[in-house]
């Protein structure tokens, strides 16, 4: 199957609140595989299902040097601290913004076998978790940018992490 196309602004699917996954069936497994493939092809460190046009609460994250994480129905249960970080999104190509993210987050979700999991993340992982969970709520990082001077056009897409 061809790599799924990553939706970009102003695609309305990016603004929908995605539906909860109630049954992890074959089509969901296929979607997860496709999302991992699209994320790697982009390349990016995270991707949410609405970014491939599917309004479901699923995200994948792959930190450099770590195993890929699959999160179904993820929710942030705790967050701590605040830091200013540069952020980019595969659905907002050509731009980077500076926004506030948590230093540390705790997330509950299900894995692709449907088991309940809890995980903690800090730094880039916390940022990716907040970014992808925003996506499934129809929120984009540009919504968190305060002031036009905090969003800038990129000369090149290389050399920065996209989520």
Q: Which residue of this chain has its Cβ atom nearest to Ni ion in the complex? A: 89
Closer Cβ to Ni ion, 71 or 163, answer by number: 163
Can you tell me which residue has the tokens 């299900």? 110
- Is residue 163 at the binding interface for Ni ion, with CB under 5 A as the rule? yes
CB of 89 to Ni ion, least distance (A): 3
Q: How far is CA 118 from CA 50, 60, 73, 106, in A?
A: 23, 15, 12, 7
Closer Cβ to Ni ion, 28 or 161, answer by number: 161
Stretch touching Ni ion by CB under 5 A, among 24-32, 33-41, 61-69, 88-96: 88-96
Per the annotation, the verdict on 82 as an active-site residue is no
- Residue 97, strand partner residues: 87, 151
Give the SS3 label for residue 4.
coil
Among 28, 59, 71, 89, binds Ni ion (CB under 5 A): 89
Q: List the structure tokens of 33.
A: 């595989």
DSSP 89-132: -TTSTTEEEEEEE-SEEEEEEE-TTS-EEEEEEETHHHHHHHHH
Closer Cβ to Ni ion, 89 or 125, answer by number: 89
Stretch touching Ni ion by CB under 5 A, among 12-20, 66-74, 77-85, 155-163: 155-163
Largest CA distance in the chain: 45
Catalytic residue annotation: 132
Which residues make up the interface to Ni ion (CB under 5 A)? Answer: 89, 163
């Amino acid at each position: 199957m061809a790599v799924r196309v990553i939706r970009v602004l102003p695609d309305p699917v990016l603004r929908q609140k995605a539906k909860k996954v109630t049954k992890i069936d074959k089509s969901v497994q296929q979607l997860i595989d496709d999302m991992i493939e699209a994320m790697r092809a982009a390349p990016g460190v995270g991707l949410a299902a609405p970014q491939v046009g599917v309004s479901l609460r699923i995200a994948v994250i792959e930190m450099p040097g770590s195993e890929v994480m699959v999160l179904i129905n993820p929710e942030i249960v705790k967050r701590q601290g605040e830091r200013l970080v540069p952020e980019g999104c595969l659905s907002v190509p050509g731009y980077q913004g500076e926004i506030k993210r948590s230093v540390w987050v705790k997330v509950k979700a299900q894995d692709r076998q449907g088991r309940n999991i809890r995980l903690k993340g800090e730094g880039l992982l916390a940022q990716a978790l907040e970014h992808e969970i925003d996506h499934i709520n129809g929120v984009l990082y540009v919504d968190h940018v305060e002031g036009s001077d905090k969003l800038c056009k990129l000369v090149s897409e290389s050399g920065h992490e996209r989520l």
